[in-house]
Amino acid sequence: MTKKEQEQTTDIIPVIAETKDIKSLIYVVHGQQVMMDSDLAMLYQVDTKVFNQAVSRNIKRFPENFRFQLTKEEFDALRSQVATSNGRGGRRYRPYMFTEQGIAMLSGVLRSDVAIQVSIRIMNTFVEMRRFIANNALLFEKVSDIELKQLEYQKSTDEKFDKVFKYIEDRAESEQKIFFDGQIYDAFSLITSIIQKAQKEIILIDGYVDIDTLNILAKKNAGVDVKIYTYASAQLTNRDAVNFNAQYPTLTVKKTQVFHDRFIILDRNTVYHIGASIKDAGKKCFGISKMDDPGLVAELLKRLKTV
279 neighbors 246 (Cβ within 8 angstroms):
no
Strands annotated E in the chain: 26-29, 32-36, 67-69, 96-98, 176-179, 201-205, 225-230, 251-255, 262-266, 270-274, 286-291
| Closest by Cα among 284, 221, 285 to 249 | 221
pTM: 0.46
The architecture CATH gives domain 176-304: 2-Layer Sandwich (3.30)
* Radius of gyration (C-alpha) of the chain in whole angstroms: 26
Pick 165 or 124 by higher pLDDT: 124
Cα first-last separation, the chain: 79
Percent of the chain having pLDDT more than 90?
32
10 neighbors 51 (Cβ within 8 angstroms):
no
Out of 47-56, 206-215, 289-298, least confident range = 289-298
pLDDT, tens digit (0-9, with 9 covering 90-100), for 122-154: 878 887 777 776 666 555 555 555 455 555 555
Mean pLDDT of the chain: 77
Q: Where in the chain is the domain with CATH 3.30.870.10?
A: 176-304
